[in-house]
Amino acid sequence: MTFSDDFNEHVDRVGTNCTKWDKMEALFGVPAEGGLAMWTADSDFPTAPCVREVLRKAADHGVFGYSWDHPDYLNAVVWWMKNRHGWQIEPDWVLTSQGLGNAIALSLDVWSNPGDGIVIFSPVYHEFAMKINRAGRKVVECPLKRDGDTYALDLEDAQARLTGAEKILIWCSPQNPSGRVWTPEELRQVAEFARRNDLLLISDEIHHDLVYPGSTFVPMDVAAPEARPCLVTLTAASKTFNVAGQRTGNMIIADPDLRAAMRHRLKTLDYGPGMLGVEMITAAYSPEGAAWVDAQIAHLAENRRIFDTGINAIPGLHSLPLAATYLAWVDFSDTGMTHDEIAARIRDDAKIAASPGPSFGTGGESFMRFNLATSRDRVVEAVKRMQAAFGDLQ
């Protein structure tokens, strides 16, 4: 089966109540008519045929009564982790949340108290800090070290920022926004840092499937199995299969006590996954789904090449090479412009909605993030618009 055309199909999302296109004018001042939505991390791709098929069958069946996270679903998650990531898990390690934003909020609730410090390594997915603040916990931001085209850990600096009042470390792997894939040695160092500081380690691995040839993603649990007593891994099909709207994610927890605590909280809240999300993920985590993901990665790799070549041809702009994710991280520091000037040109001249780097915390000040998970012609158009918007730098 070939899927390559699926990724270039223009599905009109405007007017479907999708956040990315229908909220872009209100949030970014870029109208959908004539604008390009390159901000929030969902793709413009229709999901895999095997996932759409299961929804068609459900619609034809027409009965949507009570269901649960049944063994076929749990076994599909187990199969995916084993076959795609070399990670052997057990079905009963898998708990289901309403997506990973929800899993992070639940974890803060279960394993920390108001006022506790929560460690993050910035620049990082902006919602980590927002969720920590909303929950009345304290963000303890430890900047990553810029190392040429990439980022490195600075655990000595991080150690100096801790006061002993920290309870949790939220780790992002692969890293959003830098697209960094961490090595097993780096992961072991992070696990050891968490152990040394008595921190629960939440490893958010939502971007683990979208890794480019030449890089290998390793789950934290595989790199540092010794961390299991304090490790909660978060995974989801939402980015991989563009099914984020189903709000279904997984918390994979090997440790029985940690698992029991989260299971209890889910019961207390009477939380259970929706039937359609469960069926979609069961269908996605299959050999058919895997073949579709491989085709998607090939499409994204070419989008990344075109975008990087075009952006890096503009003096002063530098798109960092992504090892994973469809989120290009572009440094504007050599333009000498303020963030407001850069954002205005992208919004008003290029008519692109892109995510502002400063929202990702320390280290993101001179950056903008562009979502490349769209058709090839839209990426080509975005490059053209950026070259025109920053044409005076040529």
Ligand X SMILES: Cc1ncc(COP(=O)(O)O)c(C=O)c1O
Q: CB-wise, 99 or 219, nearer to ligand X?
A: 99
Residue whose entry in the numeric block shows the structure tokens 């199969």: 79
What is the closest distance, in whole angstroms, from the C-beta atom of residue 127 to ligand X in the complex? 6
- Alpha-carbon distances of 77 from 94, 201, 262, rounded to whole Å: 8, 21, 18
Interface residues toward ligand X, by CB under 6 A? 41, 99-101, 125, 172, 176, 204, 206, 236, 238, 244, 249
Q: CB-wise, 35 or 177, nearer to ligand X?
A: 177
Please name the residues in contact with 165: beta carbons below 8 A apart, sequence gap of 6 or more: 115, 116, 117, 138
What is the closest distance, in whole angstroms, from the C-beta atom of residue 124 to ligand X in the complex? 8
From CA 354, how far away is CA 387, in angstroms rounded? 15
- By three-state DSSP, how is residue 142 classified? strand
Q: CB-wise, 238 or 375, nearer to ligand X?
A: 238
Beta strands in the chain (DSSP E): 36-38, 94-97, 117-122, 138-143, 145-147, 150-152, 166-172, 200-204, 231-235, 249-252, 318-319, 327-331, 352-356, 367-371
> Is residue 177 reached through a cis peptide bond, with omega within 30 degrees of 0 on the bond before it?
yes
From CA 39, how far away is CA 354, in angstroms rounded? 4
Q: CB-wise, 179 or 310, nearer to ligand X?
A: 179
Query: Tokens at residue 284, please?
Result: 């996605």
Q: CB-wise, 19 or 197, nearer to ligand X?
A: 19
- By three-state DSSP, how is residue 201 classified? strand
Q: CB-wise, 106 or 311, nearer to ligand X?
A: 106
Q: CB-wise, 172 or 191, nearer to ligand X?
A: 172
From CA 123, how far away is CA 283, in angstroms rounded? 34
What is the closest distance, in whole angstroms, from the C-beta atom of residue 338 to ligand X in the complex? 26
